[in-house]
Structure 1
Amino acid sequence: MKNLTLRQLRAFQAVAESESFTLAAERLHLTPAALSGLIKELENQLGVTLFDRNTRKVGLSAVGAEFHPLTERVLQDLDDAVSNITHLKEMRRGIVRLAAPEVMSCTLVPAAMAEFRERYPQVEVRFFDVPLEEVIERTARGEIDLGIAPGSVTNPEIDRVPFMRAPLWLAVPRKHALARRSKVAWEDVKGHTFISFFRGFAQWAPAQFGAQGGDLLPQDVLAVRRINTALSMAQAGFGFTACPVYARDLAAGFGLSLVRLIGPEVRREYALLLRKGHSPPPAVEALRDFLLSFSPAWAASFAKSKS
């Protein structure tokens, strides 16, 4: 195969269309000598004469006339391919597979997907609400483009990108005395049953309590797996639970109010998960970047208004 270059082909096309080395050189922002050199290289590699030259005119030779439509097709196909890549880069189309566990699935994800669709209507987001373990495993296998997960993830096949830290607020029945406060301290919770749906709460929470962690951490902890279970049990009077501030509307559905929980303020970190060592396509990058900017402001908006 001849080692032809795009510069040679574009030089040939420019001369063929303008019938002038001078005009073609101006069009390509080359000197006439540089342009002539490219044409000479091309003719030498092909072993044919592509142009008939005289003092007044440059025209295609018989072989050049046969060669011209072939080069036009090659260059047009290349331009179309580059245009398609540009469209992808601009997120004009594409498919993103997104997965998140329960709490994110019924709070952040619907709000984020709705706004993202307004900005990028040609990107299709296929969402999977699955358990946390499945989010991690499917992202690591490449079945999911973007996963959302709370807390730490130790899977070596995963790149973890923190994108949001949301404070935990206490969920209490609306008629309870604590519901009338603007804020509640962990010390006030200590004497009650604490219903926790957080994975590994006893491991990650103490680090945020500081030196008094052992004294402030609830001792009577009832562990459940789902937020709806925790909220339902709090509604039934089995104790109090804490949930991210953005779950306010979810708690309200169980007749609970969220009260700011301080002394200290405990924040839960959330991260985007991507498969390690794989460059995401533009549509995935678009959703990733959108979530990184959208989510913190979205979560903060709940803390600004009274629950």
Structure 2
Amino acid sequence: MNVTLKQIRAFVAIVDTGSFTAAATAVNSTQSSLSVLMRELETAVGVRLLERTTRTVQLTEAGEEFMAHARRILIEVENALTSADELVARKRGRVTVAAPPVVAALMLPSVIARFRATYPNIVVMVEDITPQEIVARVASGQADCGLGTFAGELKDVHSRRLIDEELVLICPSTHPLAQRREIRSQDLRDVSIVGLAGSPDVRRSLDVRLRLAGVHVPPAIEVRQMFTSLGMVGAGLGVAIWPSWATRILPAFNVVARPLVDPPARFTISVITPARRTLSPATQSFVEMLSETGRDFTLA
């Protein structure tokens, strides 16, 4: 059976108007075209749907039953088209964003607030996970986009630079380094360091800086989440690396930030999206807003 929407629309128009002539006018067609469509429809379903005389058109018993289904089909198609139009217009949808906890807590809220004000009916889901998980989630389609610092060759994702972040050294406000205006690698001799085992790029950068300065200080403590390192530093257990755009939270932990120099330590925060999947209108809007809002972050 090969029934088309054009045939169903013709059938419903004929029944609603009571004649082929009136139906042709209603659907902007010709009477002969509607006759052809009805013959094709009745051939496809295998039964006569209409009884035609020179003046009237009436439903057969099979036509009565088919009519109920035909109306439902047209309603469902109309609803589907309306939903698609709304989605394209970015009125509805869903976006799943993967990001490290520190980015999810300190960078995303302002972006999401701005996004929700513009698109109130789009649901935003945040997956606050480790950096190592983000690329896999986005590449597999489990997340629509991801934020973070990504090093090396990325497979199955596209990457777009958002901001160049400057890393700073954080230490307790009572620490001797807190008295300095800036921190050099040599200043880290004999200093306890809280290492980031879960952030290999940051860890590698710090290790290289220390080796070049002739400083060989293994981390006194290793953690996987940056928020954990903040707690450790606040407790006086050492110093750590922290993104400059996220320094506003430091006073709550009695921790201060000092710029790293010779040379400054910088990383790029990017947004990644699946390479093998077309972005939904909602995701496109969110990524665009991420790019716009990224310029608003003041880097120390």
Q: Same fold, TM exceeding 0.5?
A: yes
Secondary structure at 2:2 match in 1: coil
Q: What is aligned with 1:301?
A: 296
Secondary structure at 2:186 match in 1: coil
1:41 aligns with 2:40: yes
Report the Cα distance in structure 2 between the residues aligned to 1:167 and 1:50, rounded to whole angstroms.
Answer: 72
Q: Letter of the 2:75 partner, please give it.
A: Q
Q: What is aligned with 1:62?
A: 60
Report the Cα distance in structure 2 between the residues aligned to 1:258 and 1:293, rounded to whole angstroms.
Answer: 32
Shift of 1:138: 4.8
Shift of 1:256: 2.0
| Residue correspondence of structure 1 range 1-307 to structure 2 within 5 A | 2-45=1-44, 46-48=46-48, 50-54=50-54, 57-63=55-61, 66=64, 67-87=66-86, 90=89, 96-139=95-138, 143-152=142-151, 156=155, 158-171=156-169, 176-178=179-181, 189-193=184-188, 197=196, 198-201=199-202, 220=215, 224-225=222-223, 226-228=225-227, 229=229, 233=233, 243-253=242-252, 254-257=254-257, 259=259, 266-274=266-274, 277=276, 282=280, 285-286=281-282, 288-303=283-298
Report the Cα distance in structure 2 between the residues aligned to 1:222 and 1:296, rounded to whole angstroms.
Answer: 37
Shift of 1:104: 0.9
Shift of 1:231: 8.4
Report the Cα distance in structure 2 between the residues aligned to 1:58 and 1:104, rounded to whole angstroms.
Answer: 70
Q: Are the aligned partners of 2:184 and 2:260 in contact in 1 as well (CA < 8 Å)?
A: no
Q: Letter of the 2:295 partner, please give it.
A: A
Structure 1 residues 24 and 104, CA gap change in structure 2 (3 angstroms): same
Q: Letter of the 2:157 partner, please give it.
A: D
What is the aligned-residue identity percentage?
A: 20
Question: RMSD in angstroms over aligned alpha carbons?
Answer: 4.2
User: Gaps spanning 5+ residues in structure 2: where?
Assistant: none
Q: Letter of the 1:200 partner, please give it.
A: D
| TM-score for the superposition, normalised by structure 1 | 0.68
Structure 1 residues 141 and 42, CA gap change in structure 2 (3 angstroms): closer
Q: Deviations over 1:91-142 (max 9, x none)?
A: 5555544432232122112223333333344444343323223444555665
Q: Letter of the 1:199 partner, please give it.
A: P
| TM-score for the superposition, normalised by structure 2 | 0.69
Q: Are the aligned partners of 2:185 and 2:262 in contact in 1 as well (CA < 8 Å)?
A: no
Q: Are the aligned partners of 1:8 and 1:38 in contact in 2 as well (CA < 8 Å)?
A: yes
Report the Cα distance in structure 2 between the residues aligned to 1:190 and 1:204, rounded to whole angstroms.
Answer: 12
Shift of 1:37: 2.2
Q: Deviations over 1:200-226 (max 9, x none)?
A: 2476799xxxxxx99996654765544
Secondary structure at 2:200 match in 1: coil
Q: How many residues align?
A: 281
Q: Are the aligned partners of 1:11 and 1:38 in contact in 2 as well (CA < 8 Å)?
A: yes
Q: Are the aligned partners of 2:10 and 2:27 in contact in 1 as well (CA < 8 Å)?
A: yes
User: Gaps spanning 5+ residues in structure 1: where?
Assistant: 180-187, 207-212
Structure 1 residues 129 and 292, CA gap change in structure 2 (3 angstroms): same
Q: Letter of the 1:244 partner, please give it.
A: P
Q: Letter of the 2:30 partner, please give it.
A: T
Q: What is aligned with 1:209?
A: none
Secondary structure at 2:151 match in 1: coil
Report the Cα distance in structure 1 between the residues aligned to 2:212 and 2:231, rounded to whole angstroms.
Answer: 20
Report the Cα distance in structure 2 between the residues aligned to 1:70 and 1:78, rounded to whole angstroms.
Answer: 12
Larger deviation, residues 194-203 vs 78-87: 194-203
